[in-house]
Amino acid sequence: MLNLLGQILTYIVPFLLVLTLVVTVHELGHYWVARAFGVKIDRFAIGFGRALFQRTDKRGVEWRIGWMPLGGYVKFSGDLDASSVPDQAGLDELKARIASEQGAHALTDYYHFKPVWQRMLIVAGGPFANFVLAIVIFTAIFTLLGDQIAPPRVAEVPSGTPGAAAGFRPNDLIVEVNGRPARSAQDVIRVVSLSSNTPVIFTVERNGQPLTLTAVPERTATEDAISGRVAVGRIGLPLVTRRDEVRFIRYNPVEAVGAAGRQTATVLETTLSYIGRIFSGRESGALLNGPLGIAKAAGGITSQATEGEAPASLKAINLALMLFQFAAILSIGIGFINLMPIPVLDGGHLVFYAYEAVARKPVAAVVQEAGYRVGLALLACLMLFATWNDLQKLNLFKFLGGLVS
């Protein structure tokens, strides 16, 4: 029982806290933009299923928390279907009903009768809020803690590795990777891990002189407490940093915002690069995570932050910082996914509204229905694929094989 409680506190609770924060901010993005345009809203919900908490405010909005905290939604008055994009017949029916019950003047309060550009901004408000959350978190961290520059040096060059084949030598200082500054070992790992079988150009400093080397990372199976078992690019070079070369940069609030924006852009760029390599067949997609993988990562972060002999207060601060950083990265990912042009996601709604803006009429009902079904199928396939990855990373199949062998 104690072990089960420990697992819940280590994995489930941090996962739900981080996910709830990201989802709440996403839905608030939709909500506040809709409020700014005077849209009538029926419900703001976090979680699904039976309500654990619900309250209706003076504007008539029901605020609701469901027992299953794995998502959320904003329900606008007059929503006819799950896609929230009715066709012309649905709009005409809704307009007639509202006009007969409340008068024609009430139409301006309803989401579906707002100008298309306003509806597009309301839809985009959710992903935009996710990016803003990431920037706010990174800004707070850069303002409070600054940034650490830890130049990566090659500790040793094992024979037979891609690094050895490229001509690296011990004590080489890696200055740039593919033309980007290498401020820490993580900057190197980020590029190399997503460049399996693809040449990576390094600028190194050797005995005070610049030198260009090209290495081709090999896809190698690795395992750590956060990601689990994954196969990523490696060049086989242990990296270290000299203590006398480590320096800290302090930012004022304005500089911190700029640094946070650059950090957010880097995460987005890495995500786009990885997705592009999947579609081009150069990556397997093994790094895509589902709920199990996210929970595993949250648990790994919790374990790392709380291990050691430090005082409990310092562990708590370290844990909070690491989970906030994790929330920022997850928020960027959720914002990006929601902008994908799949009908059941915000990006799909934007595609429908873009058509409406050009054609001056909503997408036909039959097209919306087909798109909605295809979108659900695509999301189901994506979730199944991500869950399969999660189970493989957790070595569940190997564990079950051991049970039946």
Residues tagged active-site: 27
In Å, how far are 71, 263, 376, 378 from 371, measured between CA atoms? Answer: 22, 35, 9, 10
| Triad 125, 52, 292: Cα angle to 5° | 65
Count of alpha carbons within 13 angstroms of residue 203, beta-carbon side: 12
Structure tokens at 386: 């991500």
Work out the number of other CB atoms within 10 angstroms of the CB of residue 404. Answer: 5
Task: Give phi and psi for 319, each to the nearest 5.
Answer: -65, -45
The answer to whether the beta carbons of residues 84 and 346 sit under 8 Å apart is: no
Q: How far from 334 is each of 121, 240, 329, CA to CA, in Å?
A: 17, 33, 9
Q: Measure the CA–CA gap between 403 and 405, rounded to whole angstroms.
A: 6
Distance from C-alpha of 219 to C-alpha of 211, rounded to nearest angstrom: 25
- What residue type is 41 in one-letter code? I
Q: How far apart are the first and last CA of the chain?
A: 28
d(CA 363, CA 48): 29
Phi-psi region at 227: left, alpha or beta (left = phi > 0; alpha = psi -120 to 50): alpha
Q: How far is CA 343 from the centre of its chain?
A: 19
User: Chain-centre distance of CA 370, in angstroms?
Assistant: 28
| 153 bridge partner residues | 173, 240
Residue type, 115: P
Residue with tokens 């709604």: 349
